[in-house]
Structure 1
Amino acid sequence: MKEVDLVIRGASVVSPDQIIQASVAIAGERIVAVGHDDLMPPAREEMRADGLFLLPGAIDSHVHFRDPGYPNKETWKTGSAAAACGGVTTVFEMPNTHPPTGTVEALRIKQKAAESSYVDFGIHGLLGDDSVHRLEELLDAGVTSFKAFVGNTFGNLPAPTDGALLEGFETLAPLGIRTVVHAENSSILLRRQQRMQEAGRTDTLAHLAARPAIAEIEAINRVLTLAEWTGARVHIAHHSAADSLYLLREFKRRGVDVTAETCPQYLLLNTEDMLKLGGILRVNPPIREPRHNQPLWDALMDGTIDMIATDHAPHTPEEKTRENIWDCDCGFPGVETQMALMLTEVNRGRASLMDYVRWSAVAPAKAWGLYGTKGVIAPGAHADIAIVDMARSGTLSQNRLQSISKISPWNGRAVQGYPLHTLVRGRFVMREGKLVADAAGWGRSVKGIQAMPTPKPRNTEHYLGAVLETPL
């Protein structure tokens, strides 16, 4: 029997359907065997993992690594280090950098920055009025997917007009490419914030008042209507409100290829925390009232919401702690703390480890065309593995974060369940809870392994490209 690089022995291997006692053999970048300990091949290195759990590495569909443009907030090296230490083995990075990832030139700058990544990555290109004619060019240059900022957020990129959004969907539907949408109605947000500021509202909850749930409801309805018409694949980012869940259920029932994510902050925090933490918790969409928390959990459990992401959005402590809420930058780091937070809820009985694997690895792998290569511990798959101790307790500390952004709403929160080791394509990038420093640059783009299902475009005779070519 041929010698392999590593055999992990004595652990419990977790899938969405079962947890089994098994050993895992790794050769090069891939898993070559999962099974009884006696059946494992000889190995250059062995690891005992008795009492631990092997999870497919988490895939975070939504991170902001701020590079290029804002290296004072984060870099690809520090952001991906945070991912590695959080059990996250693949990230998808957002285009609201400077310059925005809406041209091939800007993409090349970002790809260069990503050469320092510890973990594998996809890059969301920008879908906007100025870039809608370049979508295929961006795909050819290495973009894996797109992001449309229908609601305004950090960077203040202009929201695409409905015409540009429709045209973008018409381009991407026949290609089967999924578009992430920040679904808030930009007109409502901007007008209400202006009215709040005119009235002198600078308090913590003014941010929520300026971004009511109706802004999310309207935007999701509009986006999914366009997706249904064109057959485009869409992904709703950071779903925050109980009130808009009915739209996801209805459009899924009608066959629209929509996936959705929520984040730990919307599951576990609410306005009571906002009153305590102030601008630290300013984020888009906003942290909402307590009544929203449990319905989002229920939606994860029944599949209405598909996955967990973080919207890792780092800023410096000074940028998060200004007295006027409108002066506090929106977002906070999350990629390093997500797994510990969610495993704590598993330990509390709110979900099973199998549920968590479905949300953190399987569903995102399927949404982005990676399943089989990623998102699963099975022969032939990449050896992307988080080795987890469900019994380990501790307290989250913002001072220990790998992120440059040493400020977190989770600071001081007690957790039980930690990733101890993280492997990306067979290589340890975090070991014994510590970053493996020389693994920087090991991460690579997932562009070459994407395999999306067959596209299902609709109403193609009405696409702009078709009607422009029809003679009068």
Structure 2
Amino acid sequence: MDLILKGGWIVNENGRERADIAIAGETVAAIAAPGALDDLSAAETVDVTGLHLVPGAIDMHVHFREPGYTHKEDWETGTRAAAMGGVTTVFEMPNTHPPTRSVKELRQKQDCAKKACVDFGIYGLMAEDNVDELEALAAAGANAFKCFMGNTFGNLPSPSTGAMLEGFEIAAKTGLRVSLHAETASIMAWRQAKLEAAGLDEPLHHIAARPEIVAIEAVARAAALAEWTGARIHVLHISSAGELRPLAEAKARGVDVTGETCPCYLFLSTEDYPRLGSVIRVNPPVREPKDAAGIWDALMSGVVDMIATDHAPHTPEEKRNPRIWDADCGFPGVETQMPLMLTEVAAGRMTLEHYVKISSANPARAFGMWPMKGRIAVGAHADIACLDLARREVIAAERLHSRGKITPFEGRETVGAPIHTLVRGAFVQRDRKMVEGMAGHGRQVTDIQRMPAPAPRNEDQSLAAILSGAAGTAAAPKAEDAA
């Protein structure tokens, strides 16, 4: 054995047990009662008595800003922050510069990701002008697609519903999930222009430009397109109680749709705008207390499947602006998600098992990484966060490992933290300090990703089928010519 973790509590989504873990290479080789592995020889044995060992978190929504915006973040700093936060796999978004819209840009991003400390997936962009690139992106190793139905950082144009429909038809054939920034661009552009013209530029006007109807409409529209095409979809950063209804209804109809929320939508509300000012600006916006309450309920009931972060770092100067429209949207989150959520476990709001489900098991299933990730089990990757559930820390931007040294959670005390983080059997964070020399240890999950067989619907009515049929008809000889 390469490593034995001795004396800890192993916690999966369905229960916990006190056991020793033996790791050989990248995977868990044995799990046994305390002391049962004492006769095994191992390169190293680590006593984790008193710690709870959970599958490393899988964050389906991060922006590491490279290429193009490395003054905000790069793949090494972003994945160091992930490792410090107990996150062992991340999926990185395509709104970099250039955006990840073709195989050329995908290869460029894969080259940037060679610095990663944790495992990763890479989103390919689904936009108006690159629908013809989607199959090639999937074949080249994109792990999912991202569709910006609403405007956000990078100002990528939102695709028309026609382009989305064709994109969904293609995505259905690949089997890859389409993650959605589900806000309706035209409503937001109209309202923001009116607000700006009236000189309304306070932090709360950001919500006025993006009322919850933009999310309600976008989720309902995307679900209808997914139902018709058979595409798998994922609703990103759920921010409102209103969008939970079309999400739940789509699930009830059998649409393969999952949803995530982020800590800012659970722990912050309109009550925090006066205190935080432009620091709180994020897309979609943090909303009212009733929205946070509804999302909490949905996260516990399963309507919302997982917790993610939308890790979106900027410099403090880019975040602080007296005019809300000029403040960059988003903030770091990949390092603080686990301590924030473990604080709720300590308070009795959820069990640690449920936290494992929403932070690791559900993301692994939805994006095809199960059973290699999302669980601590023999044969699975040894992606493990070793937790001290009683450890108290205070969130401070200056101590974040991200380049984005600003957070709306500044000064918040947390209870519970990952003491060690292992990625495929190797310590990348140990004793609350980064293990140096681990840049490049991270690996793209393409080799283990196994999406279920695609089940496209209405194939004969897809645009590709119609165009193919038209081409065949044009090429066929006329009856009189044949005669």
> The residue matched to 2:43 in structure 1 has which SS?
strand
- 1:228 matched residue in structure 2: 227
Deviation digits for residues 267-307 of structure 1 (CA, Å, limit 9, x no counterpart): 11001112210111100000001111111111011110000
Runs of 4+ residues over 3 Å off in structure 1 = none
Q: Counterpart of 2:84 in structure 1: which amino acid?
A: C
- 1:180 matched residue in structure 2: 179
Instruction: Report deviation, 1:469.
Output: 2.6
Q: For the residues of structure 1 that align with 2:421 and 2:44, how far apart are their CA atoms? A: 16
Instruction: Report deviation, 1:251.
Output: 0.6
- 1:391 matched residue in structure 2: 390
Whether 1:17 aligns to 2:14 is yes
Q: For the residues of structure 1 that align with 2:50 and 2:389, how far apart are their CA atoms? A: 9
Instruction: Report deviation, 1:152.
Output: 0.5
> The residue matched to 2:60 in structure 1 has which SS?
strand
Instruction: Report deviation, 1:457.
Output: 1.1
Q: For the residues of structure 2 that align with 1:47 and 1:274, how far apart are their CA atoms? A: 45
Q: Counterpart of 2:47 in structure 1: which amino acid?
A: R
- 1:413 matched residue in structure 2: 412
- 2:30 matched residue in structure 1: 33
Whether 1:338 aligns to 2:341 is no
- 1:357 matched residue in structure 2: 356
Matches within 5 A, 1:201-350: 201-350=200-349
- 1:371 matched residue in structure 2: 370
Instruction: Report deviation, 1:56.
Output: 0.1
The farther-off stretch of 34-43 and 256-265 is: 34-43
Q: Counterpart of 2:11 in structure 1: which amino acid?
A: V
- 1:94 matched residue in structure 2: 93
- 2:481 matched residue in structure 1: none
Q: For the residues of structure 2 that align with 1:136 and 1:35, how far apart are their CA atoms? A: 45
- 1:164 matched residue in structure 2: 163
> The residue matched to 2:243 in structure 1 has which SS?
helix
Instruction: Report deviation, 1:37.
Output: 2.4
Q: Answer yes or no: is the 8 Å Cα contact 2:138–2:174 preserved in 1.
A: no
Deviation digits for residues 309-328 of structure 1 (CA, Å, limit 9, x no counterpart): 00000000000011111110
Q: For the residues of structure 2 that align with 1:177 and 1:5, how far apart are their CA atoms? A: 35
- 2:129 matched residue in structure 1: 130
Q: For the residues of structure 2 that align with 1:11 and 1:318, how far apart are their CA atoms? A: 44
Instruction: Report deviation, 1:174.
Output: 2.1
> The residue matched to 1:146 in structure 2 has which SS?
strand
Q: For the residues of structure 1 that align with 2:191 and 2:98, how far apart are their CA atoms? A: 28
Matches within 5 A, 1:438-453: 438-453=437-452
Deviation digits for residues 32-57 of structure 1 (CA, Å, limit 9, x no counterpart): 01121233232111111111100100
Structure with greater Cα Rg: 2
Deviation digits for residues 207-258 of structure 1 (CA, Å, limit 9, x no counterpart): 0110000000000000000000001000000011001111111110110000
Instruction: Report deviation, 1:22.
Output: 0.9
Taking structure 1 as the reference length, the TM-score comes to 0.98
Instruction: Report deviation, 1:461.
Output: 1.0
Instruction: Report deviation, 1:68.
Output: 0.1
Q: Answer yes or no: is the 8 Å Cα contact 2:89–2:120 preserved in 1.
A: yes
- 2:188 matched residue in structure 1: 189
> The residue matched to 1:147 in structure 2 has which SS?
strand
Structure 1 alignment gaps of length 5 or more:
none
> The residue matched to 1:288 in structure 2 has which SS?
coil
The farther-off stretch of 102-111 and 229-238 is: 102-111
Give the aligned CA root-mean-square deviation in angstroms.
0.8
Instruction: Report deviation, 1:411.
Output: 1.0
Structure 2 alignment gaps of length 5 or more:
474-483
Q: For the residues of structure 2 that align with 1:77 and 1:291, how far apart are their CA atoms? A: 38
Q: Counterpart of 2:465 in structure 1: which amino acid?
A: A
Q: For the residues of structure 1 that align with 2:279 and 2:368, how far apart are their CA atoms? A: 35
- 1:113 matched residue in structure 2: 112
- 1:400 matched residue in structure 2: 399
Alignment length (residue pairs): 469
Q: For the residues of structure 2 that align with 1:438 and 1:95, how far apart are their CA atoms? A: 27
Deviation digits for residues 73-122 of structure 1 (CA, Å, limit 9, x no counterpart): 00001000000000000000000000000011211211111000000000
Q: For the residues of structure 2 that align with 1:123 and 1:19, how far apart are their CA atoms? A: 32
- 1:464 matched residue in structure 2: 463
> The residue matched to 1:439 in structure 2 has which SS?
coil
Instruction: Report deviation, 1:175.
Output: 2.1
- 1:5 matched residue in structure 2: 2
> The residue matched to 1:415 in structure 2 has which SS?
strand
Give % identity.
55
Q: For the residues of structure 2 that align with 1:178 and 1:76, how far apart are their CA atoms? A: 23
Deviation digits for residues 345-393 of structure 1 (CA, Å, limit 9, x no counterpart): 1111110000000000000000110011001100000110000000111
- 1:153 matched residue in structure 2: 152
Taking structure 2 as the reference length, the TM-score comes to 0.96
Q: For the residues of structure 2 that align with 1:305 and 1:244, how far apart are their CA atoms? A: 11
